[in-house]
Structure 1
Amino acid sequence: MAEDRGVTVCAVEGVPPTRRADVPKLEIDELVDQFLERADEIKRARGRVWALLQSIESVTGDLSLERVLRRIVESACELVGAQYGALGVIGHDSGLEQFIHIGVDDEIAKRIGHLPEGKGLLGALITDPRPIRLRHMTDDSRSTGFPAGHPQMESFLGVPVHVRDEVYGNLYLANSENGEFSADDEELVVALALAAGTAISNARLYREAELRQRWLEASAEVQEQLLSTSGEDPLRTIARRSIEIADADLVTVGLLTPDRDGFVIEFAFGERAEELVARRFPLTGTIGERVIAGGEPYVTAIAGDPQVPSTHVATVIEVGPLISLPLRGNEEPRGLLTLARKRGRRDFTETEVAMAAGFASHASVALELADVRAAEQKMIMLEDRDRIARDLHDHVIQELFAIGLSIEGVAGQLQSIPALADRLRNRVEDLDRAIRRIRTSIFELRGNLAVSQEGLRLSILEVISDVTPALGFPPSVSFAGLLDLQLPEMLTQDVIAAVRETLTNVAKHAHATSVSVDVELAGDELTINVADNGVGVGDPSTASGVANLRTRAGHHHGSFVLTAGPGGGTVAIWRVRTR
């Protein structure tokens, strides 16, 4: 090759020489600039791909669902240089169940108030899960603006996050450091969202496996309690472990009342649980009624909604997701296990519902075993009780009666000393009262027979036994008259309810250390007299339960009077006609 003043001579034979200006279409320096620019683009692209891989590694390297969700948002912001980022998890009602945000500090979030509800641009992604990229958010007709105190946002990029075949949620990014998000930014975030879906799926599976393990451990604990005759009540264990494992805000175990038109909360754990224990709730028009009638679980995400039947837990918390399960007996449901979360919290998963149903079956077994053990204990005690009752009736009462007759005879011979005669007659009355109390004890000892043999005395004693734990001491009880004669069923139920409600009021408000319950049937008039040594009744017109007790008495042409006791405390007199 030879060069001569701008002419290049090719040494290859047969190829004519050409000038330099005929070869390139661009100047050499322009080619170099383009080459360097392209190299920079390749370098930047390589860097962004590397950043994407790092983001994917960060997102998929954890099995905690809560941490995975936050890392998805953090990685997306870092990947495309967004000032603000959020992940909205779609709930049952197509609104946002969770909203994990980055860039807005806690103080600003507090001033804004409630979390986004999935409207405007956020809702557009929920309705039509396809990426949205905007230079100015306010230019889009779907934008609904920002609440007071919300930071200003301009550019916007929204991308759906799929988990298997469902749209789990959406990634929202705002305020690109470059002024607007590019098509490359969109592709990168879409790729990250695909990886995020896999990470969320894995974290879900891990959480479900961990949850199942915890339920199994709790089930083993309950089974151990079922086999034991001592230790914690299995129903209490079930309620306690349920709130721990199910991440609930409130759990209750309620057992049906004998009339099956309501239930009483036996155990409760969680927020304001102490306000529910020992309270009676009606079944009519409630979720509990549906569960008892159908014998199947009731699951809802909006238990506090007016369109959903009412629930007892709504009396103490603003309830949202709820599971209510029947506690089955041999023939019919015996009660309810209820797990509730507050409004705004995530729904219960299918796994949580299934595990809670397993716990409810344990509770059903616990009730059946309790019945069997109680029956065994009754059988063991019956012979001794019957023997003691016979001894009291055949010997003690007869001896006391004979002593009373003797004292009456002596009193009749002391007419010349009236004061002494009166004192002796008073002692005879004391003996009569002692005999009545012994007879009451005999009924207690011979009580708890078959249902067909039950009388009013036994029913009243069972009610008193039920209320005794709440009182903290056993009441003094006496009966007079033929109380076990057949009475109208409605009257019998109202008598039992009156005793229960009166003693419950004493337990709640009186702060008493002793209570006497005297039930007398004289002719066609039945009287219940309940006296305590508590703090007194205050204003009888506003005392708890007075209206209900008066209403029950009114059904039978009777009355209810609440007065201060002669020595302090309160005297409640419930009087009705039997025919």
Structure 2
Amino acid sequence: MTAHPAPRLTRLLEALLGVGTALDLPTVLQHIVDGAADLTGARHASLVVTAPGGTRLAEFRAAGPGPVPETAPVLRVPVHVRDEEFGELRLAGRPGAGPFTVEDEQLLRVLAVQAGVSIGNARLYETARQRERWIEGAAAVTNALLTEEGADDALTTVAERARLLADASAGVILHPTAEGGMAIVTASTPEDPDGIVGATIAPGSPVLEQLLGGEPVFIDDSATDPRMTTHVRHRFGPSMMLPLQASGRLIGTLALPRRRGGRPYTEVERLLATQFASQAALALVLADARRGRERLAVYEDRDRIARDLHDLVVQRLFATGMMLESTERRRGAEDVRDILVRAVDELRSTVQEVRTTILTLQQPPAEPPTGLRGRVLRETAAAAARLGFAPSTRFLGAVDTRVPGPVADRLITALRHALAQACARGNVSRVEVAVDAATPLADGRAGVRLTVHDDGTDGDGAGGAAPEGGGTDESAADAGAGDGDGGGHRGGGTAVTWWSPL
């Protein structure tokens, strides 16, 4: 029996309101299914999302109690987003096994029209969010590249950030080889990286002409595409290979493969990734130019040292020669002896100055800070590129002088692991790092304590084995309070505490 028009109209308005207020696409699709089931009284409802070629991409269901017989009536209504057929609403299991009415179909078509509008809005919102994330990621990479020291660190930063933004299985950088091919020089992957670095695309490969020409290459399935020749291609599915090119200079190629059977890249993702690669290439060029200027400054300083050395040596040798000449006019043996002693001392001093200066000139350019404080700051700066923001860092006590080298090495290892866990959580907006060498350990011994606290809520990561001579503790939801580090963490989240006696 058909429900009274007024209650059905009310439920239709409620369904339209529920569908129209959400912006997250999965939430919108689930609202559509739930609204269709409630509106028609169907026991089972589903929305099948299809690709343009008819391939099923996803299905959202609202299931009621009891199975649906194969002979049960089914109502199907297409959902269009602008001129594109997005999917199909399917209803089954009418109470009493009666057929769906014309009114049911009309109500469902009204809901489908609103669903198409809401899906279009959700897509626009998601595209805007994607653009925002890629822009922020490109800015973070640029900032990291212009503050880091080594070229290898710079390439790793680009590969890792791009992998996270693209939701790829791996992020790799390829460089041209002397033989005319390309080789993977850097790889960022949460899975087993063995065999990826060093993999080569042999000269003559069909894809090489495009890559060496600075053209992007988009691949539907790396494992079956005949253009792919590396021995690791069977691990991956959809992939983007993007030129790292700036001012006509090809630095290399950024490849972002997804795992086998992964979601294909959309046109928006391809465009955003290509723009990211262009900006990253420019940042790499600027970072290389900065390192070149720093090397030039070192060489200029060495030129100055060489000029000063030349002047000093010439002056001393000239003065020594004058003293020796004066001995010809001296009569007393004592005066001659004193002059010769002074001349020998001057020559020895000159030789020592030359040796010292030569050793100074043979030293490489200044390395990154070797103290524990500088190493911690370097690790947090590297993590900023992956997090999208800089972690706050705090030191207590004389960490550079109190913490011996082996303990400092283990602390840095624990810090890297904790920061990697924070990056993997994905919902982190604040990270606090504290290194405390001033507060005794719980047993009264002098020690050092590292605490890494973030506001993420996913506590799946394990603290890992403690380095020898220390320990680790990890917990979630207000972890870190009361562990003696004076951190003053705000609210809940996840904290990793590592300690070691000194």
* 1:164-563 equivalence runs, <5 A: 164-179=82-97, 180-230=99-149, 233-272=153-192, 274-275=193-194, 277-284=196-203, 288-300=207-219, 302-304=220-222, 306=224, 309-310=227-228, 315=233, 317-319=235-237, 321-376=238-293, 379=296
Structure 2 gap segments, 5+ residues each: 307-361, 363-502
- Secondary structure at 1:233's aligned position in 2? helix
Q: Tell me, what secondary structure is at the counterpart of 2:22?
A: coil
- Unaligned segments of structure 1, at least 5 residues: 1-39, 106-148, 389-444, 446-579
Q: Which has the higher contact order (CA 8 A, sep 6+)?
A: 2
Asked if the contact 1:288/1:324 (under 8 Å) is kept, the reply is no
Cα displacement string for residues 177-228 of structure 1 (whole angstroms, at most 9, x for unaligned residues): 2422222211111111111011111111111111211222112212212332
On the 8 A contact 2:159/2:171 being kept in 1, the answer is yes
| Cα distance per residue 1:13-58 (max 9 Å; x no partner) | xxxxxxxxxxxxxxxxxxxxxxxxxxx96x6122222211111111
Between the aligned partners of 2:60 and 2:205, the Cα distance in structure 1 is 35
Contact 1:303 1:311 in 2 (8 A): no
Structure 1 residues 268 and 309, CA gap change in structure 2 (3 angstroms): same
Distance in 2 (alpha carbons) for counterparts of 1:299 and 1:230: 32
Take 1:336 and 1:304, find their aligned partners in 2: how far apart are those partners? 16
- CA displacement, residues 289-317 of structure 1 (integer Å, 9 cap, x when unaligned): 254144222234x2246355327596463
Instruction: Give the drift of 1:230.
Output: 4.0
Q: Matched residues in 2 for 1:52 and 1:291: separation?
A: 54
Q: SS of the counterpart of 2:93?
A: strand
Q: 1:252 to 1:328 in 2, by over 3 A?
A: same
Change (3 A) 1:169 1:218: same
Superposition pairs of residues 110-125 of structure 1, within 5 angstroms: none
Q: Tell me which amino acid in the other structure corresponds to 2:129.
A: E
Residue aligning to 1:156: 74
Query: SS of 1:215's equivalent?
Result: helix
Contact residue 52 and residue 85 of structure 2 kept, 8 A: no
Q: 1:52 to 1:207 in 2, by over 3 A?
A: same
Task: Give 1:150 shift.
Answer: 10
**Count of aligned positions:** 308
Deviations 1:56-102 (A, max 9, x none): 11111111111111121121122112222222222253211222233
Deviations 1:441-487 (A, max 9, x none): xxxx8xxxxxxxxxxxxxxxxxxxxxxxxxxxxxxxxxxxxxxxxxx
Superposition RMSD in Å: 3.8
CA distance in 1, matches of 2:289, 2:29: 50
Cα distance in 1 for partners of 2:26, 2:11 equals: 22
Distance 1:153 1:314 in 2: 49
- Matching residue's letter, 2:197: A
CA displacement, residues 525-548 of structure 1 (integer Å, 9 cap, x when unaligned): xxxxxxxxxxxxxxxxxxxxxxxx
- Residue 364 of structure 1: CA displacement? 1.5
Aligned-partner Cα distance in 2 for 1:104–1:346: 30
Q: 1:252 to 1:264 in 2, by over 3 A?
A: closer
2:4 aligned residue (44, 53, 63): 44
> Per the alignment, in what secondary structure is the counterpart of residue 356 of structure 1?
helix
* Contact 2:170/2:187 (<8 A) preserved: no
Tell me the SS of whatever aligns to 1:67.
Answer: helix
